[in-house]
């Protein structure tokens, strides 16, 4: 049986909670226990929206250029198309994370974890292999803030395509199934 919890080398733990459909459509719910520091640089998703609710600790967000600090019981949300980034202010912060629609977000975390567990990421969690970087970008269903989307599709999307053609995706997916 596949594990529902992934622990990265930096201590970030992400746990699959639930995937389903309700009156607002398809969703994915995850739980994260976070180390202190930057968690996600500026990025945006053309289709999916995210909501984070802090259960313990504190997160600092920048959403659409506005900074906010969120503590226990507080919530932050980023609609589709809105640039967002966030930092964990206290190690051991626990959050609930909802993604609508889920697209491939759980698979993104699984791929990222497999790369991390195999030592194929930097200390900051960035894949060392450009093909892995392209594939991870493709799985996250979004774009980096400040870089034209067309350029990202050309370069990172092209790298993801190459990863698939040369069999890297299959190899890493096999690693995912062994690592989780």
Strand order in the sheet with 84-88: 66-70, 59-63, 84-88, 37-44, 143-144
Structural domain harbouring 42: 5-100
Q: How far apart are the first and last CA of the chain?
A: 9
User: 20-44: per-residue pLDDT in tens?
Assistant: 999 999 999 999 999 999 999 999 9
Over range 151-167, report the average pLDDT: 96
Give the pTM.
Answer: 0.90
**What are the pLDDT digits (tens) for 2-23?**
569 999 999 999 999 999 999 9
pLDDT for res 179:
47
Residue 180 has pLDDT above 50, yes or no: no
Which residue, of 100, 124, 142, is where some domain finishes? 100
Q: Supply the pLDDT for residue 3.
A: 64
* CATH code (residue 72): 2.60.120.10
- Of 67, 100, 133, the residue at which a domain comes to its end is 100
Same domain, residue pair 85 and 142 = no
Q: 95 and 54 in contact (C-beta within 8 Å)?
A: yes
Rounded to whole angstroms, the Cα distance separating 132 from 110 reads 13
Residues 93 and 62 in one domain: yes
| Higher pLDDT pick, 175 / 27 | 27
Q: Do 25 and 90 sit in the same domain of this protein?
A: yes
């Amino acid at each position: 049986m596949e594990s529902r919890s992934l622990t990265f080398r930096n201590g970030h733990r992400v746990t699959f909670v639930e995937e389903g459909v309700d009156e607002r459509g398809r969703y994915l719910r995850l739980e994260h226990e976070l180390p202190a520091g930057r968690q996600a640089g500026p990025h945006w998703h053309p289709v999916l929206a995210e909501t984070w609710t802090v259960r313990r600790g504190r997160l600092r967000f920048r959403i659409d250029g506005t900074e906010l600090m969120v503590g226990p019981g507080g919530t932050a949300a980023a609609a589709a198309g809105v640039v967002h980034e966030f930092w964990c202010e206290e190690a051991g912060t626990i959050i609930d994370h909802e993604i609508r629609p889920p697209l491939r977000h759980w698979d993104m975390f699984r791929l990222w974890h497999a790369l991390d567990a195999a030592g194929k990421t930097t200390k900051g969690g960035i894949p060392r292999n450009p093909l892995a970087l392209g594939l991870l970008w493709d799985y996250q269903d979004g774009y980096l803030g400040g870089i034209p989307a067309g350029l990202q599709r050309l370069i990172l999307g092209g790298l993801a395509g190459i990863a698939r053609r040369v069999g890297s995706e299959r190899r890493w997916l096999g690693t995912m199934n062994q690592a989780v």
